[in-house]
Amino acid sequence: MPLIELVKSEVFRKPILDSLEQKASSASTIYVNFQDDKPVVVHSPMTKPADNSSPSFYVSLTIHDKTLHNCLLDTGASHNLMPKVFMEELGLDITRPYHDLFSFDSRKVKCLGLLKDLAVTLTQLPMKSMIMDIVVADVPPKFGMLLSKGWIKRLGGTLQNDLSYATILVSRGERRRLYREAQLAYVISAEKNPSNHPIYAVDTEFGACILQIEES
């Protein structure tokens, strides 16, 4: 006899329901409501909701004579990515063409090209320099640059559980702390004119926008 017919009987209903409730509470995956004429299978979540409380880890990179702030360590990124507007403000040029990328929601990201073998220095730790490839795309300037999982791996070191700082190797046997920086309202600054440098981008509650600064 089908199980659905058995639970209609007063004799078998309670033992069956008790058994199903015990299994549902221990597994928390799937349970079936047999008390209705047309039972519905209900799926419970098997994983905890994503925790979005972790702070973003920003660092600044020195490129030539300017500093690029709001460079975001992104362990899910496969490429280092820079918005076009910041490439232009840094005075950089595309080195070679590059294929388009796809975002997590499967939307195509139009790439303008690749900055090949660009030398950058950690602004906090000027003794630490790296050579990196950067994909340039015409995307909203919500960050100075996305630093990929490959870049993070090459940087080496360990990251604190609270994401307050990373400990990295800067020379033979010497390790230094790279502290997490706050997200700044400005993205590019110059040592020659740090106080009057214009704000190129800000991230507001309405999204990222570019501020037009007219030179007098």
Residue of 167, 159, 100 whose CA lies nearest to 135: 100
Q: Report yes or no on whether pTM surpasses 0.75.
A: no
Residue of 65, 68, 64, 91 whose CA lies nearest to 81: 68
| Residue 78 DSSP code | S
pLDDT of residue 159: 87
Helices (H) and strands (E) in the chain, counts: 4, 16
Cα 45 to Cα 25: distance, rounded to the nearest angstrom: 13
Token readout for 72 is: 């975001």
pLDDT of residue 128: 94
Query: Quick count: other Cβ atoms within 10 Å of Cβ 135?
Result: 23
Token readout for 132 is: 């990196």
pLDDT of residue 210: 36
Cα 134 to Cα 82: distance, rounded to the nearest angstrom: 7
DSSP string, 41-76: EEEPPSSPPP---SPP-EEEEEETTEEEEEEEE-TT
pLDDT of residue 45: 41
pLDDT of residue 208: 39
Token readout for 41 is: 């299978």
121 exposure class (CB count in 10 Å sphere: 0-12, 13-18, 19+): middle
Segment 30-56, tens digit of pLDDT: 444 444 444 443 333 433 444 456 789
Q: Under DSSP, is residue 160 helix (H, G, I), strand (E, B) or coil?
A: coil
Per-residue pLDDT of the chain (216 residues; tens, 9 = 90+): 665 666 567 776 677 677 766 654 554 444 444 444 444 433 334 334 444 567 899 999 999 999 999 999 988 888 899 999 999 999 999 888 777 655 544 566 678 888 999 999 999 999 999 999 999 988 889 999 999 989 998 988 888 888 899 999 988 889 999 999 999 988 999 877 654 344 443 443 333 333 333 333
Q: Which domains does the chain have, with CATH numbers?
A: 3-43 (no CATH), 58-210 (2.40.70.10)
